[in-house]
Structure 1
Amino acid sequence: MINEKKLEAALKDAIDKTRKNIARFNGKFPHVSENEVYQLNDNTDWTNGFWSGMLWLSYELTRDTSFREAAVRTVESFRERLESQTVLDHHDIGFLYSLSAKAQWIIEGDESAKSLALSAADVLMKRWRPRSMLIQAWGPEGHEENGGRIIIDCLMNLPLLFWATKHTGDVRYAEIAVHQAEKSRRFLVRGDDSSYHTFYFDQESGEPLCGGTEQGYSDGSTWSRGQAWGIYGFALLYHFTRDKRYQETSIRMAKHFLERLPEDGVVYWDFSVPFTSDTKRDSSASSITICGIHELLKGLSNGHPDRCVLEEGIRRQLEGLIEKYATIGKPDAEGLLERGAYSVRGNASPDDYMIWGDYFYMEALARLTAGHKGYWYEL
């Protein structure tokens, strides 16, 4: 694996930049950057939980109360957002509340934070469509284009539902999570272990229609960040269900991803795009995959035939991020990782900082230096 001192130095750099960003962001939430300056919002986007997660990680790793104070303020902002139902009509509720309110519950046992996270799980449950048996990703119920649409990102929102079953005793949360997981495994993952970004179903019958994409190169391509969500999402599903099919799916998707790593260990934004010197990378996809593979390895024996290739995949990607993509040596940089890609096809921050890339990079460093596991579940 990577030299421990190098990992610790990278983590210290990430924490130092996060500390500086508390004042820079001044109570607002970073999203993506333009020209290396983060766009900020008043907690209205799907990405806002990642900043909260970075603050909680920094607090746990340092016990510096300035991080806790800033993190608690984000949780209060998420409480206000839920009470006012501000831009919550989508499936990314787990991204928002697992890394904010649920994180506070995991760290401090705060009952108010627990209650907030459970209320967020109820909001996510409203996305369930009983006729088509799916959690609708985007748009209002009955929407002509999106009414029967799932996306692979949703796998990372399902841990909130399993957690809600654990703390309420209501099995319906977990049952719906399993329905969504199984639909995703069957229809989003292709036979060659690549993945669709999205899949469409008939809203009335639930009949499968076709795969597609929103951010990938084409409907039949493999968007690398979508593949990363699948790797991590199915690894987490194995933790909750102990269903070997999810573990096997995560392994297959991880090997497909690792087989397509460029020489420097950090993937292009889509595996099917023509590769030239100008092709965009997505450092955030690699940071997500590192965390997903690390989680996956927890369930594999030392003698598992894929263990060595998976461990080598972590090493290659994290070494590439630290040495070529991290802003180490740039103390005034707002972001932790350069060359993230929000939407290349839509020309929206196609080559800049991404707050989720920064979060998963920090989680990866915390996993390998401190045995952290993120805030997706509690022991």
Structure 2
Amino acid sequence: MTKTYQLVIDRLLDKTKQNISRFGDEFPHTSLNGSYQLNPNTNWTNGFWSGILWLSYQYSKDQDFYKAAVRTTDLMRERLERNHGLDTHDIGFLYTPSVVAQAMIEGGANVKAEGLRAADRLMKRYREDIGIIQAWGPLKDSTQGGRIIIDCLMNMPLLFWASEQTGNRRYKNVATQFVELARRYLMRGDDSSYHTFYFNQDNGQPIGGATQQGYQDGSTWTRGQAWAIYGFALAYHYTKDPAHLETSLRATRYFIKHLPSNKVAYWDFDAPINADIKPDSSASAIAACGFHELLDILPSEHPDRGSIEQVLTESMETLINDYQTPDDAEGLLDHGSYSVRENKSPDDFTIWGDYFFLEALLRLTKDYRGFWYEK
């Protein structure tokens, strides 16, 4: 399959090069009527476009990708200086594939300092009084103040990286505390996951799980389950806590068990299966990266290796054969969903789906790891 993956990567890089001139200084988010909706660096997803450019440069050493990656990353720095739209947990999504990616590829004290500034911005979301990283809204907001979400697992590598760069254990301690909180409250006894969970703002006591983008509060939103697979595996890389590895494996078993026959997830594992049910190719692209991460960790004799390897291969084959966009499309991976429940891009291409699709392909060819840790 390696040759097939390389051919697909070459095709995706050709499309990405065309997108450089299409997008200019704006950032793609999700598609509408077959074209990306662009924004002037105001969305939580903008780091993924920088990440695609850095991955493309890392693979090809093409200077066109390098120049575009530097330009978009400079724009991300400007946003950090303006503090525009950064009252969110998504700082890791914004700055790990952009500023931290540049630091990993190029080094340099100035670039690393910008990454540390981003980590400090994320630390402002930490509610020490109740021990959570608040997901959305102003701190102590009456409706959002006690809320965490499973997506935030993928923002913790920024804090782990900052701890490694500085020797300051506070970054790692806060990240580890969040991972543990997610393990205890976002993961359920049957190894499925809540999208979000609420805590009492006065005393930090748990209230209960809910959803924002899933089918219903008790259902399993598949992208959230994919964040759990990948996020807990990455946490294990930094903490070496066997509970984090086991949680990733348990989330993986649940994900695999509930996949349809083509091995690409629907948008929610509990949504009614009918002719109108939407897939979420981005969930399977994220999960593919998590599966590969697990295969890099697990010993050859581990009983889960065979099933993970098989589903990873079958899932990637379906994404390649049935979910790639046509040549003239701006996106790389079709049939992703942002939020079916809210009718936001329910069946479109998404910039995070594009990013993780490319990362998964690079993992399977040149053993790259994206930018969630330095190998």
With structure 2 as the length reference, what TM-score do the two structures score? 0.99
Counterparts of residues 357-376 of structure 1 (less than 5 Å): 357-376=353-372
2:341 equivalent in structure 1? 345
Shift of 1:113: 1.6
Secondary structure at the residue paired with 2:177? helix
User: 1:275-327 deviations in whole A, cap 9, x for unaligned?
Assistant: 01110000000000000110111110000011101111111110110011012
- State how 1:118-137 maps to structure 2 within 5 Å: 118-137=116-135
Separation in structure 2 between the aligned mates of residue 222 and residue 35 of structure 1, nearest angstrom: 28
Give the AA of the match of 1:356: W
1:245-324 aligned within 5 A? 245-324=243-322
Pair 1:334 & 2:330 matched: yes
Aligned-residue Cα RMSD (Å) equals: 0.7
2:203 & 2:295 partners in 1: Cα distance? 38
Per the TM alignment, residue 111 of structure 1 is displaced from its structure 2 partner at its CA by: 2.4
Q: What is the aligned-residue identity percentage?
A: 56
Residue 373 of structure 2: aligned partner: 377
What is the aligned length? 375
- Give the aligned residue type for 1:97: Y
Matched residue, 1:98: 96
Gaps of 5+ in 2: none
CA–CA separation in structure 2 for the residues paired with 1:320 and 1:277: 19
Partners of 2:313 and 2:108 lie apart in 1 by 36
Separation (CA, whole Å) in 2 of partners of 1:113 and 1:248 = 35
Q: Secondary structure at the match of 1:38?
A: strand
Is structure 2 residue 198 aligned with structure 1 residue 200?
A: yes
Q: State how far apart, in whole Å, the 2-side matches of 1:113 and 1:320 are.
A: 38
Q: 2:188 aligns with which of 187, 190, 194?
A: 190
Give, in whole Å, the separation in 1 of the partners of 2:296 and 2:238. Answer: 13
Checking the alignment, whether the CA contact within 8 Å between 1:92 and 1:154 is kept in structure 2 is yes
Which one of the candidate residues 206, 212, 215 is aligned to 1:214? 212
For the residues of structure 2 that align with 1:276 and 1:331, how far apart are their CA atoms? Answer: 30
Amino acid across the alignment from 2:8:
A
CA distance in 2, matches of 1:268, 1:295: 22
Asked if 1:4 is matched to 2:41, the reply is no
Instruction: Please state whether the residue corresponding to 2:297 is helix, strand or coil.
Output: coil
CA distance in 2, matches of 1:297, 1:244: 15
CA offsets 1:216-254 (integer angstroms, 9 cap, x no match): 000000000000000000000000000000100001101
In the other structure, the counterpart of 1:62 is 60
Deviation at 1:110, TM superposition (A): 2.9
> After TM superposition, what 4+ stretches of structure 1 lie above 3 angstroms from structure 2?
none
CA distance in 1, matches of 2:217, 2:2: 41
- Please state whether the residue corresponding to 1:294 is helix, strand or coil: helix
Of 168, 177, 180, 2:178 maps to 180
Give the counterpart letter for 1:239 in structure 2: H
Report the counterpart of residue 237 of structure 1 in structure 2: 235
Opposite residue 213 of structure 1, the aligned amino acid is T
Work out whether residues 188 and 199 of structure 1, in 8 Å CA contact, stay in contact via their aligned partners in 2. Answer: yes
Amino acid at match of 2:111: A
Deviation at 1:262, TM superposition (A): 1.2
Counterpart of 1:110? 108
Q: Secondary structure at the match of 1:270?
A: coil
AA aligned to 1:360 is F
Amino acid at match of 1:308: G
